[in-house]
Amino acid sequence: MSRPVRVLIIAASLLFLMAILCVGGLLIVSRGQPVDFIQTSLVRLRLAGREADLNRSVGTDTTPVRFTISAGDTPRLIAANLLNAGLITDADLFVDYVRANDIDVELEAGTYFLNQSLSLSQIANALTDSRSSQFLFRILEGWRIEEIAEIIDRNPYFGFSGADFLAVVGPGAALDPDFAAYAGIPSGASLEGFLFPDTYQLPAQVTPLLLRQYLTEQFREEVGTLLPAQAAAQGMTLHEVVALASIIQREAVHEDEHAMIASVYRNRLRDGMRLEADPTVQYPIGQTGNWWPQITQADYVNVSSPYNLYLNFGLPPGPIANPGISAIEAAVNPAVSPNYYFRARCDGSGYHEFAITFEQHLANACS
C-alpha cells in the first residue's frame, strides 16, 4: 500500500473517530436529545441582545388581570392568550424565552393574577407555579350579605360576580344540610349571619360554593359547640342567638360594650318588651349604595316588616348582618345588669349611656 493511501486511510479514520466523539459528546450534552439541543441553542442565539425587550413591561397599570392556563395548553397558545390579554406585545419572544430557559416544560395549568407592569420574563416565570396565586379577602363585622356581594364585584381577583355569590347564600339557596342543621337555619332562609367576618387567603380558582364553604367553616370553628349548647340550655337556637348578635353588632361601635348592650336586649326579651332596635328598621329598607340608611321617627311605625322590632315583639325572622365572635358570645352570655335602655353619648365617642327606667333614658338625651 502506497504512502499516500495510508495517509488518506489514517486521516479518514481520525475524522471518523472525531465524528464519533463529537456525536457522543453532543448526545451527552443534549441528554440524548441532539435535535432539541440544537434548536434550543439557535433560539438562545436569537435572544442574544434582547434583554431590554425581555425586561420591558407593557405598561404601568398594576390592576390584577386573571389569566388561566388550561391543561394541555402549548407555549404558543399561552403566548397568544397573553398577547390577547394585553400582557405582552411579542408572542414569538415569549415562546423563544420559555424555550431557551427550559420554562416551556414548567408552565403550569391554573389561574394566575398578572398585570401590565410585569415584564415578559417575570410573567413567564410566574406561570410556573399556580399555588402562589392567592389573594386576601376581608369581610368586616356587621356587613350584610349584599355588602359582601358588592365587595366581590369591586374585587378584580374574583372570577365570579356578587350575584353568583348571592345565589348560593341568599334566600332559597340550597344550603349544606349539615351546616343548616348545626346552625338551626329554617328551610328557605339565607346564610345571613353565618358568613363569618375575617380576613381570608383565597385561591385564585375560588368559586361561589367554595367561598361559602370557607366562610361557614370559619363560623363553625369560631363558635364551636359550647356556645350552641349554652344557648340551648337557655331555650335559644343558634339561629336565634346569631339574630340577636347581629343586632348587637350593628348597635355597638366598641366591642367592650357588646355584653352590656346584650343585657339590655335580653332583659327586654325576658320581660316581653319590644327590642326597639334601629338596625332592624334599617335592614328592610336598605338598598344598593346605602344598606344602612339614616332613619326617622316616622320610619319606626311606617316600615312595615317583620324585621322592624319597633312594631314586632321578640327577635327578627333571622339575622340582619354577619356578627363577629364577641357579639355572638355576648348574646349567649350577656352582662348582668338592670338596664332596659341605652342611647349614644353626646361626646361623639361612640359609647352609650345605659338606663334602667325610661325617665332616666330621656334624661340621657343630648341637650
One domain for residues 125 and 156: no
Which value, to the nearest 10 degrees, does the dihedral of the CA atoms of residues 99, 102, 103, 108 take?
A: 110
Asked if residue 330 is part of any domain, the answer here is: yes
One domain for residues 126 and 251: no
Number of residues that this document lists for the chain: 367
CATH code at position 94:
3.30.1490.480
Asked if residue 17 is part of any domain, the answer here is: no
Asked if residue 117 is part of any domain, the answer here is: yes
One domain for residues 303 and 176: yes
One domain for residues 236 and 115: no
One domain for residues 168 and 229: yes
Asked if residue 46 is part of any domain, the answer here is: no
One domain for residues 182 and 74: no
Indicate whether 169 pLDDT > 60: yes
One domain for residues 184 and 295: yes
One domain for residues 128 and 244: no
One domain for residues 108 and 153: no
Q: 197: closest CA among 132, 260, 250?
A: 250
Neighbours of 263 (CB within 10 A): 21
pLDDT in tens, 244-295: 999 999 999 999 999 999 999 999 999 999 999 999 999 999 999 899 999 9
Indicate whether 30 pLDDT > 50: no
One domain for residues 92 and 165: no
One domain for residues 317 and 222: yes
Asked if residue 207 is part of any domain, the answer here is: yes
Q: How many domains in the chain?
A: 2
Q: 40: closest CA among 114, 96, 112?
A: 96
Find the mean pLDDT for residues 343-347.
Answer: 93
Indicate whether 148 pLDDT > 90: yes
End position of a domain, from candidates 97, 132, 167: 132
Asked if residue 192 is part of any domain, the answer here is: yes
Q: Give pTM, 2 decimals.
A: 0.80
One domain for residues 199 and 81: no
pLDDT at 29: 43
Q: Are strands 341-344 and 352-355 parallel, antiparallel or unpaired?
A: antiparallel
End position of a domain, from candidates 68, 102, 132: 132
Q: Place 367 in a pLDDT band, splitting at 50, 70 and 90.
A: confident
pLDDT at 8: 62
End position of a domain, from candidates 109, 132, 155: 132
Range of the domain at 218: 145-336
Q: How far is CA 105 from CA 90, 123, 124, 367, in A?
A: 20, 15, 12, 75
Asked if residue 356 is part of any domain, the answer here is: no
Asked if residue 83 is part of any domain, the answer here is: yes
